[in-house]
Amino acid sequence: MSASSKKSLEPFTQIILDSISDAVFTVDHEWRITSFNRAAEDIVGISRRQALGRRCCDVLRASICESQCALRATLKSGESVVGQLVYIVDADGEQVPVSISTALLRNSRGDIIGGVETFRDLREATALRKELQRRYQFGDIISKNREMRRLFALLPQIAASESTVLIQGESGTGKELVARVVHNLSPRKERTMVAINCGALPDTLLESELFGYKAGAFTDARKDKPGRFAQAEGGTIFLDEIGDISPALQIRLLRVLQERVYEPLGAEKPQRADVRIIAASHADLDDRVQQGLFRQDLYYRINVVKIILPPLRDRREDIPLLVRHFLTKYNGLTGKRISGVSHEVMRLLLNHDYPGNVRELENIIEHAFVLCRDELITLEHLPAERVPDAGAVPAPSLRKLEAEYITRALERNNWHRTATARELGLHVTTLHRKIKRLGLELPPHDGRSSRSPGPSP
């Protein structure tokens, strides 16, 4: 191609680049920008004239520019990068999430003359994801599980009452989070919520912690010490692992619930207790009553309103939401910019049974943040002692997991497609498309017309 022909094509090349909705720029071997389209101007916030001739790292100031430049890797290896999430810094100093792709730039003879990078603004997608997450968040509790969302609907009513609440669930399911939501929604929210783990203290120490003591009550009691009930006056006290307290202390606690008074150790007269009590237990208190380990009358007093939290293994649909939540949390705490987890990691996380529940999942992500120096958490970053099979990819494929996940949701909704789509946060047409793609065999009825058969004539 002659120089004049090449020159005559340049305006058309720029017109083509400017018509593309994704940002596009090219660089030469010295990393200086040789073209910069209109979408790039809009996203970065600087003009083409300001960008041309400058090094791309000075213009984009991306999170990977210094050590992990994707374009540099492409020029070195010849392999393109597709859809990598990074953050650039625009002209106003704001971080912008973008998805980048890179390729080699060749001339008409096939010689490499530089590189080309496209990037797509993900701010709207990020905002949408945050909006979707807010739909599934209540206080600090995150869930799209049907039972949990039913609880979300009830929590304001529970909070508005003065009734004692019993929260039951395995360790790590978020019992204290629920208690704090109840307190923060209640008329007592302006006063203190005090929490104490009843199972972590010996009986004598727990009694003084709960009720306090007067000076001279025992040898080392040189001055009055208010207990947790006094500290929570006008507010809420959260008694975690109440099932572990001794029979003797159960009697004292029963008096507080019945008469709304308590006596600090060494006190001559009882004190009034204007405190709402929220209790929690990882053990089934019904069973402990039957075994004679927990007083039945105390159980009836605390079991006015019962909240049962399902373990994480029974709400696996929440795992991706929780992973995204913990990524955001630890990005903020550590200053890192980890964008997500690999498909293999997500597959493993979806298959793990989580004896430690949500707390265990958070610990896994926190551990990965310590080891991860890239933008994606991979299997090598997971703690082997928490996830013993972290060194191997579990057998089920992502397709199989998705099929099982959708099938379970359909079964919970009696095969009602619309109700299932609502639970999963999908449009019903998207659900139909997934059912077809996954080859799921469904019963002929969809749950709307199902009726229990009447008696035969």
pLDDT of residue 386: 56
457 residues of the chain, pLDDT tens digit each: 444 434 443 566 777 788 787 899 999 988 899 999 998 998 888 898 999 999 988 888 877 776 778 888 898 888 888 888 888 888 877 778 888 899 998 888 888 999 999 998 887 666 656 555 556 778 778 888 889 989 999 999 999 999 999 999 999 999 999 999 999 999 999 999 999 999 888 887 898 899 988 776 666 767 888 899 999 999 999 999 999 999 989 999 999 999 999 888 877 788 899 999 999 999 999 999 999 999 999 999 999 999 999 999 999 989 998 998 899 888 888 888 888 898 888 988 998 889 999 999 999 999 999 999 888 999 889 987 655 554 444 445 567 777 887 888 888 888 888 888 877 767 777 788 888 888 888 887 665 544 433 333 3
CATH architecture of 398-438: Orthogonal Bundle (1.10)
Three-state secondary structure call for residue 81: strand
**Phi then psi dihedrals of residue 176, to 5 deg:** -70, -35
Cβ(179)–Cβ(195) under 8 Å? yes
Q: Other CB atoms closer than 10 Å to residue 8's CB: what's the count?
A: 11
Three-state secondary structure call for residue 19: coil
Cβ(22)–Cβ(120) under 8 Å? yes
Residue 40 CB partners (closer than 8 Å, separation 6+): 23, 24, 25, 48, 51, 119
pLDDT of residue 387: 56
Q: What are the C-alpha distances in Å from 432 to residues 7, 317, 397, 409, 418?
A: 52, 18, 21, 13, 10
CATH T-level fold of 133-310:
Rossmann fold (3.40.50)
Q: What is the CATH number of domain 11-121?
A: 3.30.450.20
pLDDT of residue 135: 65
| pTM over cut 0.85 | no
Q: What is the CATH number of domain 313-381?
A: 1.10.8.60
CA distance 447 to 413: 7
Residue 159 CB partners (closer than 8 Å, separation 6+): 181, 182, 183, 184, 185, 186
What residues does each domain of the chain span? Answer: 11-121, 133-310, 313-381, 398-438
Residue 225 DSSP symbol? B
Q: Other CB atoms closer than 10 Å to residue 274's CB: what's the count?
A: 12
